[in-house]
Structure 1
Amino acid sequence: MSKLGLRTKLLGMLGSVLLIAVLFGFAVLMQQIKRFDAVQNKLYGLELVQQGNELLRLTQQMRSTDTQKNLLEHQRSLKAAIAATDARLAQHDQLTVRSGWQELSTQLLAFSDKNASLEQMALSDLNQIETGFAEFSDTVIEKSGLFFNAEANIVLLAKLGAQNLTQSLSYFAKHLALHQALLKSENQTPLTAMQLNLLRDQLQTAKRAGDHLYAAMLRTGEPILPAQVSAQQASQQLLEHLQIDANPKIVLEKAQQAWVSTAQLQTETQVRLSQLLQQDKQALHRTIYALVALLVLMILVSLYMSFGFYVNLIRAVQNLEHAAEVVASGDLTTTTHAEGSDEIAKTAMAIDKANFNLSALVANVRTNASMVLELGKELSEDIHNMAIRTEQQAHSLVDTASNMGTLSETVKNNAANAKSVDNLASNVRMIAESSNETMRAAVNTMQEIHTSSIKVHEIVSMIDKIAFQTDILALNAAVEAAHAGEQGRGFAVVANEVRGLAQRTADSARQIRHLIDDSVNRVEVGVKQIHEVNTTLSEIVSGIRSLATDINAISTASTEQSHSLIQISQAIHELDEITKSNSAMVDNAKSASSELGVRAEKLTAVVAAFKLRQGTADEAHALVRKAMSLYKNQGMNLLDYITKDTQKMFADRDMYVFAFDRRGQYRAFAGNAAKLEVNLFNVPGLDGRKLVADAFALPEKGGWVDYAIENPVLNRVEVKTSYIERISEDIVIGCGVYKSV
């Protein structure tokens, strides 16, 4: 199959489908035609059965007639019916029953031509003819399939009309013949009685069988025929009269009524059966026409759909083949489209989406390659500058290592001197702490002197109070002596002496108080001075202690510094080695960056061969450089020139040159003047303030800014990068591309 072309495969599939459809439709059609033929055979067999029943009734009427005139009339009707049946079978014998009919017709003609008298028609002849009719009817029913039907009511009607009612009519006719014979002879022989009893039993059996058929028909939903009730009543009345040995004339009358009503019921049954078969025939006829129309319609629809599928598939495959060839040539701008919404159209949409994604992927690779190329050049320059600085750093490290050696010796000497000073400070600290203890003892002694002076002052105060009280007592004694006169003169003298002694004591005490107060004041001043000296000495001791601690710390730090400087010197030597290694690595990196630049140029050249639906970073950079070149000649008129863009110089696919100010307002937009009304701060999904801040934070030479904005093609927020350069302090110009899909 893989070696066959698509057209051959499609034609083969179409032929297979059509062949299967035609064979299936033909099989169904033939089945319906077969059912139609079966119904036609049933109708034909029913007509033959009806004609046979008519002939049988005529025969029965001939046997049961009571006048010669009626007999001749029945004979003519019988011969006419026989001739009609002969003509019908001679013209069309689709059941091949003509041979059986010929034997029966011969018997009928012989029966009708025996004699014109009633006496010559024996009952045995009628029985023989009825047997012939039964055999003929069974043959017709068997070959026509009248009893074989999917619908139960049709089978029941056929059995009722072709068998049960026929037997009942035969029994009624025999009753008529026997009772007519009884009326003529007026004597009932034992044979006649036996025949009547047999006929009565047969009639009861036939009636019970008919009742069962009626009940079954009712269960199938078949309506009651108009003559059914009267026929059942007439049969029941006849049986009732036969049970009681009624008058032969009455029985003859009841038998005649039963025969007539049963014949009418048989006619209605066969008419109803014919109607049902005609309905089946018409339904099958319509079904056959519908199947033929459906088969033709199915073939036409299949041809139409197959042709449409063929044309659509071939066209779609050609479009896909063309799209694949275009993509293979490197052109990713072509749109693949297939009409409709089937799998081919979905495949075309998937291929178009794949082309779009591939274009975006190549655009992303090209953008990143151009950025890598640009960054590679900057990296190469930076590595070159770093190599120069590394060389300078190596020389500086050599000088630093030399100076660090000298500094290490100096710090080592400073550490030794600091150690000596630390020892001296420790001795001074011990002396100061000893002097501080002596001064603290002197302060305590002066404090005790001050306490004793206060106590002496209190004693002097007590003496002064005693002298004052003595003086008052002496004065009171002198006053009392003066009152006493001569008796108190001696007491007055003593009082005066005591008063003088008290005054001298008070003067002495006052002098002592002055001396003690002066001494106390001096002691207080001395205590304060001693306290100040103690405080100063404590501060001196604390300072000496702090100085000793600091000098110890300086000594320790100088020692540690000496060790650290030794380690630093070693580290500088190691750093010098590392710097030399870095210098070699910088040379390698410089070579690698140069190689990276070459490979980036090759990658850019490779992806540049593709025609893309999206713009790339190098193309956006080129558009901005084109605008900046034009700015040198046009100045600020460049903004209007970009917005008008009559020559389509500043817009390409999803790239467009734009300009905005520090307020976020567009000042130019390639080919879209309506954008001048837009402020970046109000654009949904865009952080306009950050974009403006990043744009004006770029160096004067320009650079790239990344931001998120809604992609109008994909209707979703995408990351975009724009190359931006500043043309004034308030306006920048740029062009961007989407970084991913």
Structure 2
Amino acid sequence: MTLHNFTVRAKLAWAFGILTLLVMIVSGLSLKSLSSANDRFSSYVNGLDARAKMSESVRTAIDRRAIAARNLVLVTGEADLELEKASVLNADEDVKSRLQKFDEMIANSPDVSEKWRNLAASIDHVESAYGPVARDIVRLALEHKRDEAIIKMNNECRPLLAALVKATEEYQEYTNARTAQKIEESTEDYNSQRNLLLGICVSALLLGTTIAFLITRSIVSPIRQAVLIAQTIAKGDLTTQITVTGKDETSQLLAALREMNNGLAEVVGRVRSSSESIATGSAEIAAGNTDLSQRTEEQAASLEETAASMEELTTTVKQNAENAAQGNRLALSASDVATRGGEVVGRVVHTMREITTSSEKVAEIITVIEGIAFQTNILALNAAVEAARAGEQGRGFAVVAGEVRTLAQRSASAAKEIKDLIGQSVERVKAGSALVDEAGTTINEVVVSVKRVTDLMGEITAASSEQHTGIEQVNQAVMQMDEVTQQNAALVEEASAAAQSMAAQSSTLNELVSTFRLHQSHAELVPEMAKASTQVRRPMSSKSGPTSGKKILARPLIGKADANWQAF
């Protein structure tokens, strides 16, 4: 398990925890050393040193008592004797008091060795022997037995005093030796504690340095790698393979950079693919718009031709209306002649010939009207087809074309009926020459027939007038379609220019995106997406001329136009 598997918080917590533990260990050992030194110092001050000082004070008190006893022996005056007596007694009490305290120290000190106790016991032993002798000398001096006192002092007191001094000196020498030994032990203990603390401090320093180095390397190395990756991405190189091995924050940063690099590579790949697709599509759109512009111009030319044809058709329909009006007038004249036929039977043959001639002309006119009605129906059907192709703008034109075709059908039906009637009239006129004797009876029928012809001619006249009006509306609609087509042509040219501009911008975008370097796995997405975009079905371009009548009739019509075509 490496440091990369721990978070930065955990690593810092472990590092500071270890350092804190080391500091606590060093502090504990230091406190222990200080406590031990303090105990040794307290033991020295309160034990060994105090006993040494007490032994010195005992020695001082003994010397002072010996001097007072000597002075007591040497003085001769009573006042001096009393004074020296008090000094001797005070000195003796001081020796006893100090020696008692010294014995209590020896008895109450746990660190007193057996030799110390023996030395202290020897002091007590000599003192127990020296005390009675000294007090006896004082007694002799007070009894003015100076010589005996001097002899006793020289013979008994001096050796005991020397032994007492020697015992105190031996105690002090042993105490000094033990003091030196304690100092040496304290020095050795200090050196060992110092070496231990130095070792722990050096170990803590090495361990802290090692931990700091490892943690710093585990943090700085991925951050440097992240900086290099970011600089590489900033230069447009997205081919870097980022490997993440740990679970800490720096590894999470590298993982985030890897996801960002992969996501950016995918986005750039898609943008590159889209830019290439847009470039291809814009080029196709530009080509399609150019083709559409050409076809729109051709359609505009066809509409111009259609407008010219509609003007000719308008003229023809106008002439048809005039002919229908003339036929109506002729029918009225025939009615008048038929009315006067009973009065001028003698002129029936001549009149019937004129009627025959007029009827033949009317038959020819009716034939012309029927042909015009048929052509009008065809033109109205073509106009409906063109209106259907025009879409929303040709809806009104489709309605007008439907009405025109209805009128054309009615005109054709009326013309057919008139033709039949004219045929019957011609046959009757031919038979009238042979049946002149029956002219009276037949003339009435002729009058009725002529009235019917007059009515039909009136209807033909009205239908021709309406047809003329409808054709004019169709002509206006065709002119409007011509204007709209011209506008569409201009818009198509603008769209073609915009498509070419978009193609140029797409090429620029493709050049900008191509600055990014992609890994092979991401680069393979570009041709696949471009291939998928080129598989979209494109519209078939046609550069043919104006649409023929057969192609127009082959397309399905909508609504009423379809029904009228089937009826036709």
Which TM class, normalised by the smaller chain length? 0.3 to 0.5
TM-score normalised to structure 1 length: 0.30
Between Structure 1 and Structure 2, the one with more helix by share is: 2
Higher relative contact order (CA 8 A, sep 6+): 2
TM-score normalised to structure 2 length: 0.38
Between Structure 1 and Structure 2, the one with more strand by share is: 1
